Amino acid sequence: MDSPDEIVMPATRMHSTSDETTKLVDLVLEYSRRRILSDDTPLDKPLSELELARLAGRTIDEQGIGAAKALALFEHVLAPACITTDHPQYLSFIPTAPTKAATAFDLVVSASALYGGSWLEGAGAVYAENEVLSWLSREFGLPATAGGVFVQGGTLGNLSALVAAREHARLAVKQSGTDAPARWKVVCSAEAHSSIASAARVMDVEVVPVHPADDGMLRGADVRAALDEHGASVFAVVATAGSTNFGIVDDVASIAALKSEFDFWLHVDGAYGLAAMLSPLARHRFAGVEHADSVIVDPHKWLFAPFDACALIYRDPETGRRAHTQHAEYLDTLTETSEWSPSDYAAHLTRRARGLPFWFSLATYGGNAYREAISSSIQLAQDIAREIESRPRLSLVREPQLSVVVFEHEGWTRDDYAAWSSRLLDEQRAFVTPSSHAGRPNTRFAIINPKTTFEQLVGILDTM
């Protein structure tokens, strides 16, 4: 008969350490170990809702189906219906390629019951995250006093930065005694990420899109014309450091030079591309980033962390804190202190310590390993671009700057690209989706995984 200490009450069953939970944890850890150490995880592909309903059936009821059955359903039915984003031949959108250390430590973060919103509750986690943010700040040429926070992704990072920028502009207007504009405006490239327009809708401000040159780069002369036209209503200019579609870096230096004549906040959206500043092959492209008032970069893209993490860094962190600190009686113990609370620096309150997997990986392998891994993708992009140029019916849309290679097949329609893309995925050869530019269909390789090889890419081209 069980002793009183061994009796698990119904209300505490899910939270107790028992034979049931011990077996459950062992099952999950063993699956995780197999997945993390696997070198041949399939690319996999989505299934229809009808097919998933047939294969998985009803998974939730009042009594529970048990951990073994639930995990088996995930491993054999649900997971294979998700494309493996860290597969070397996942070449669409912007992939992810977390290091083994970062992925493993993500388990530790979840297992440790950490809260990453305040220094009071998570001082150790915040210290480690801040060390990473300081390292990134140095790499980007920002002052030693720069700082920020890890948020969910680039969309929230851009929104939070622009909210801080507008608050900064509002304060300047108030202090000067001048009238605020009828409508605040943000200037950016017409090829800027869609999250800039999304942030503007949320903020109820206007986007002034400026068409870049044929090479895709936004330059100071183009921005000057917009600033001359819209004047003091422009509170921020967004420069893109690695566009999602092409990997193009705006001429940040010439845009930053305008700050001596015009009063605006310079935000650099480097969600994908800013990581390339770590590589000697690309660092020269980012001149001027050191003058930014805020920047973002997503470690879950080209800094090899798992989903989801965006580093938002302010030149002057107080501008972020002034814009985002939430005030309530129950928060007074947190807000009435000088301690660094990450919740004060973005449009969030509750937060996971999402920067820790990146911290662990960076601390484990060191910065040089990152430089070499990023450089390998940049070099591979150049190599495959030359291969594309050598093929009679293929042509580059633009010369790659970083690790995105966009190209066309002579005579192909969007339907041709779509059929080819579907065939590649059906055959589990690669995930390469159709794209377009200026109304013309094309396709692209987004290369960030150091395990992607030239031979793999050549094999994909051969299928065209």
Q: What is the mean pLDDT of each run of 10 residues along the chain (464 residues)?
A: 61 95 97 96 97 97 96 98 98 97 98 96 97 98 98 98 98 94 97 97 98 96 97 97 97 98 98 98 98 98 97 98 83 72 95 97 98 98 98 98 98 98 98 96 98 98 98
DSSP state of 8: P
Tokens of 24: 């459950």
Neighbouring C-alpha atoms within 13 Å toward the C-beta of 213: 11
Query: What crossing angle do the helices spanning 100-111 and 356-365 adopt, rounded to 10°?
Result: 140
Tokens of 21: 């939970």
CB neighbour list of residue 247: distance below 8 Å, 6 or more residues apart: 272, 273, 381, 400, 401, 402, 403, 404, 446
Give, as one character, the DSSP assignment of residue 368. Answer: H
Which pLDDT score, from 0 to 100, does residue 3 have? 47
The upper half-sphere exposure of residue 430, i.e. CA atoms within 13 Å in the direction of its Cβ, equals 27
CA–CA distance, 353 with 110 (Å, rounded to integer): 9
CATH topology of domain 367-462: Aspartate Aminotransferase, domain 1 (3.90.1150)
Each domain of the chain, given as residue ranges in start order, spans 24-80, 106-365, 367-462
How would you list the strands of the sheet with 265-269, edge to edge?
Answer: 147-151, 310-314, 294-297, 265-269, 234-240, 185-189, 206-210
Do the beta carbons of residue 340 and residue 126 sit within 8 Å? yes
Q: What is the dihedral of CA 245, 246, 247, 250, to 10 degrees?
A: -100
Question: Is the preceding peptide bond at 214 cis, omega within 30 degrees of 0?
Answer: no
Q: What is the DSSP string of 102-140?
A: HHHHHHHHHHTT---S-HHHHHHHHHHHHHHHHHHHHHT
Kindly state the tokens that stand for 344.
Answer: 């004060």
Indicate the CATH number for domain 106-365: 3.40.640.10
What integer pLDDT is reported at residue 243 of this predicted model? 96
Q: Could you tell me if 98 and 92 are in contact, meaning their C-beta atoms sit under 8 angstroms apart? A: no
SS3 88: coil
Residue 269 · residue 291 · CB < 8 Å: no
State the pLDDT at residue 5.
Answer: 52
Q: pTM value? A: 0.95
User: What does the block give as tokens for 157?
Assistant: 């990072």
Token readout for 342 is: 């990450």
- For 139-158, give one letter per residue: b (16+ CB within 10 A) or e: bbebeeebbbbbbbbbbbbb
What DSSP letter does each residue of 154-211 carry, written as one string?
A: HHHHHHHHHHHHHHHHHHHHHHHTPPPPSS-EEEEETTS-HHHHHHHHHHT-EEEEE-
Concatenated DSSP letters of 408-452: EETT--HHHHHHHHHHHHHTTS-B--EEEETTEEEEEEE---TT-
Q: Which residues pair with 407 in a beta bridge?
A: 396, 443
- State how far the Cα of 16 lies from the Cα of 10, in Å rounded to an integer: 10
Give the per-residue pLDDT at 329: 59
d(CA 297, CA 277): 11
Task: Say which residues have a Cβ less than 8 Å from residue 31's Cβ, sequence separation at least 6.
Answer: 71, 75
Give 249's contacts (C-beta < 8 A, 6+ positions apart).
217, 240, 241, 242, 273, 285, 286, 401, 402
How much is the CA Rg of the chain, to the nearest whole Å?
Answer: 24
Give pLDDT, residue 4.
46
Please choose, from the candidates 218, 217, 237, 219, the residue with its C-alpha nearest in 3D space to the C-alpha of residue 227.
Answer: 237
Whole-angstrom Cα distance, residue 337 to residue 448? 41
Please give the DSSP secondary-structure letter assigned to residue 331.
G
